[in-house]
Amino acid sequence: MAGNLDDIRDQSRSAIHAKFALPAIISREGVEVGNVHARLYNADSRAFGDLDREGYAFSLEGKNVIVFDTQEWTPAEQQVVDFGRGRIYSIDTVIDNLDRARYPRCIASEVLKK
């Protein structure tokens, strides 16, 4: 066997994360708490994973998704992620179990500056 499937996935995701992650600043309650590299997806619809028994993929409709590498940063709800150039998001939900996923996905809402 070539290797553990989780390890193979982590290696693939690591290569993608290294290529497409953007620098960002994390803050909580207006206080800067760290610098990270995260991937930002704000597509209208994105399919994930395997098909369910009816043949449909799990999908997120009209959501902003931010992906972190937990070896660099552990995301949490209510953290604000500033990618610069007016791209500021607040984490609403961490989708993946942080104990099992190295690259957890988070659903985020755009923070509009006044």
Give the mean model confidence (pLDDT) for residues 8-21: 93
Mean pLDDT of 79-100: 95
pLDDT of residue 44: 59
Report pLDDT for 81: 98
Q: What pLDDT score was predicted for residue 92?
A: 96
Domains (range + CATH), the chain: 5-110 (2.40.10)
Q: Hey, what are 76's tokens? A: 């949490």
Here the contacts of 4-13 (C-beta below 8 Å, separation 24 or greater) are 10/102, 10/103, 13/102, 13/103
Helix (H, G, I), strand (E, B) or coil at 26: strand
Q: With the C-alpha atoms ordered 70, 90, 38, 48, is the resulting torsion angle positive or negative?
A: positive
CA distance linking residue 96 with residue 102, whole number of Å: 9
Residue range 23-82, pLDDT digits in tens: 999 999 999 999 999 999 986 565 666 677 777 776 656 789 999 999 999 999 999 999
Q: What pTM was computed for the model?
A: 0.80
Q: How far is CA 30 from the centre of its chain?
A: 21
